[in-house]
Structure 1
Amino acid sequence: MREFIVEADGGSRGNPGPAGYGAVVVDAATGETLAEAAEYIGVATNNVAEYRGLIAGLTAARALDPGAPVHVRMDSKLVVEQMSGRWKIKHPDMKPLAAQAAQILPPSQVTYEWIPRAQNKHADRLANEAMDAGTRGEQWTPSATRADAIHPQAQEAPLQGRGERRDQPPPAATRTTPGGEAAKAVSDVRAARNLAADKPSVGWGAPPDLGPPTTFVLLRHGETPLTPQKRFSGSGGTDPALSETGRDQAERAARSLATHGTVQAIVASPLTRTRETAATVAARLGLEVVIDEGLRETDFGAWEGMTFGEVRERYPEDLNAWLASPDAEPTGGGESFTATAHRISATRDKLTAAYAGRTVLLVTHVTPIKTLVRLAIGAPAESLFRMELSAASLSTVAYYADGNASLRVFNDTSHLR
């Protein structure tokens, strides 16, 4: 039985801004590219563009063989988790797109996997080439589907999903061509791909028109009575307030942020220690505090209020499992680091869209800050145990319109000295 891999991506330069998607269908057995799809879609958000890329990829796979299993690989955690049924779809713009994607092939025929952005370069390049052409006012499409790759049953199948008109022409990337033309198209695309590989997409070679990044200044709350004792203090414990030292730290952080004068908005975790820290900064900057549940600390279950040594003594097996795997939960139904990462990445996507191009202070906790940092630099989950994050420290991550991120500052405590 044939099996396809669909890799899809989408991007928005401004979020919302000029947007486009790219998708590629690969033969799972040989690794050979069978079809490509890409389109400039005008002004849209990253998430809309990513869903459009998924739809195009599934449509192209169905055109090749409507009965083949499809494994979708995307670097959009939101799309993967929503289409896998693990996350609810709440945004009104996402619901119809998710429904359209779900109708293209039977759900039992499609599986989803999240991959790092570095492993999704083919689809990302297609999306960026489509956006480049669109912003120049040009029409651009990738190579056509290989004619010899199409299953006979697909010749009679509608190409654009169930419920759409059958008299519409298929997308440019799924039109068939005679063998010679298809070979030339594939050759042209491979040549273009080689040229594109020589052009850096980030860093010094980044295009100059990405606009200002969305910048998160990450402030860990000040000390509580539990902090100097190094006790587990998550979202499921006693919700301690700041200590006298913590209040002084919050004031020092506020003075430093006021001196820089770049923060335009403040978003905080709902827990007492973060709300108190945020309120101190907000009073100094003359801003309002927005509370976001997604920024809360991990729930450490039965370990709340204990030291590491106490947990080691009482729950040694659970602690060893937790240290060995990000999927392991603390004793008593706490939150795993994997679950925390899903929550934080969704919150990150929501906030970067809401505050596009602005500098936002996020007042939160150790695990959310470390998670944002590790996701920005593409570090593995075990890196959480290898970062030191002090109370009332400042870190900074910038998010660019092409989907890349840059860690600028980590664990700065100079304002506390």
Structure 2
Amino acid sequence: MHNPEHVLYGRLEGFGLSELGHRMAASSAAMLHEQGAPVTAVVASPLQRTRESAAPWAETFGLTVALDERLIEPTNKYEGRRSDFTIAKQLAVPAEWPWIVNPLKPSWGEAYVSIAARMLSAIEDAWASVDSGDVVLVSHQLPIWMVHRSVTGARLFHDPRRRRCSLSSVTSLERRGDRFVEVGYQDPAQDLLDSAVDLGAV
């Protein structure tokens, strides 16, 4: 991400990938292509950074990118602020106390259960949309992590610092019977992470 001011951008427009971000997205598509992944469709969140992240996948596999609003970043009342705000700063603004009253939900944005439900719905529809092959869904860190915790049976509330979901990483699911299971996690852009400023994955 090109985000020199460290803004919590959320769903704000005008935040695209940096030059490094483009390289990271391309590395993911290239690795899966080298592995022989049978990618037959690419679907992305409508935000600029995810559309740009999806572009190398479409180019590599000769596809066009479809958009799905259900893959979008969650709403967040702190959107547009610097991402280094602290609890102390929050407590200094009484009008915003209701935003932090229930971190289990969380009360400052879209509920975890809502994020998980819409993501799993998008995954279900993506799976049903092709006769064979893999569908690449390009989303954001928190929605991806909600899917991981849902399919592994973990509680949705979590410590954001412990998410295993880095930039341009690939979390793989497989349909087994009537449910999806996680079958892999790859981090093709790991060697580029040391140079990255923003670690919120797409």
- Band the TM-score falls in, shorter-chain normalisation: 0.7 to 0.9
Change (3 A) 1:339 1:406: closer
Identity of aligned residues (%): 26
The match for 2:40 is: 264
CA-based RMSD: 2.4
Structure 1 spans left out of the alignment, 5+ residues: 1-222
The match for 1:413 is: 187
Q: Does 1:329 align with 2:107?
A: yes
How far apart in 2 are the matches of 1:371 and 1:355?
24
The match for 2:18 is: 243
For each residue in 1:5-58, what CA deviation from the matched residue of structure 2 results, as whole angstroms up to 9, or x when unmatched? Answer: xxxxxxxxxxxxxxxxxxxxxxxxxxxxxxxxxxxxxxxxxxxxxxxxxxxxxx
How far apart in 2 are the matches of 1:297 and 1:367?
8
The match for 1:388 is: 164
The DSSP-based 3-state class of the residue aligned with 1:302 is coil
From the CA coordinates, give the structure whose radius of gyration is larger.
1
How many angstroms does 1:322 deviate by? 4.5
The DSSP-based 3-state class of the residue aligned with 1:381 is coil
Q: 1:367 aligns with which of 133, 139, 142?
A: 142
How far apart in 1 are the matches of 2:159 and 2:36?
30
Letter of the structure 1 residue corresponding to residue 122 of structure 2? T
The match for 1:225 is: 3
Maintained 8 Å contact 2:13/2:47:
no
Q: Does 1:377 align with 2:152?
A: yes
Maintained 8 Å contact 1:377/1:405:
no
How far apart in 1 are the matches of 2:79 and 2:189?
32
How far apart in 1 are the matches of 2:2 and 2:172?
23
Letter of the structure 2 residue corresponding to residue 345 of structure 1? L
Aligned length: 184
The match for 2:195 is: none
Structure 2 spans left out of the alignment, 5+ residues: 92-96, 192-202
TM-score by length of 2: 0.79
How many angstroms does 1:285 deviate by? 1.7
Q: Does 1:300 align with 2:76?
A: yes
How many angstroms does 1:269 deviate by? 0.6
How far apart in 2 are the matches of 1:353 and 1:301?
34
Name the structure, 1 or 2, with higher relative contact order (CA <8 Å, separation 6+): 2
How far apart in 1 are the matches of 2:102 and 2:56?
35
Q: Does 1:290 align with 2:70?
A: no
For each residue in 1:308-364, what CA deviation from the matched residue of structure 2 results, as whole angstroms up to 9, or x when unmatched? Answer: x415244344564352x22x331xxx4222222232222222222223653111111
Change (3 A) 1:390 1:363: same
The DSSP-based 3-state class of the residue aligned with 2:23 is helix
The DSSP-based 3-state class of the residue aligned with 1:379 is coil
Change (3 A) 1:240 1:404: same
How far apart in 2 are the matches of 1:397 and 1:362?
11
Maintained 8 Å contact 2:152/2:181:
yes
The DSSP-based 3-state class of the residue aligned with 2:85 is helix
How far apart in 2 are the matches of 1:349 and 1:257?
22
Letter of the structure 2 residue corresponding to residue 258 of structure 1? H
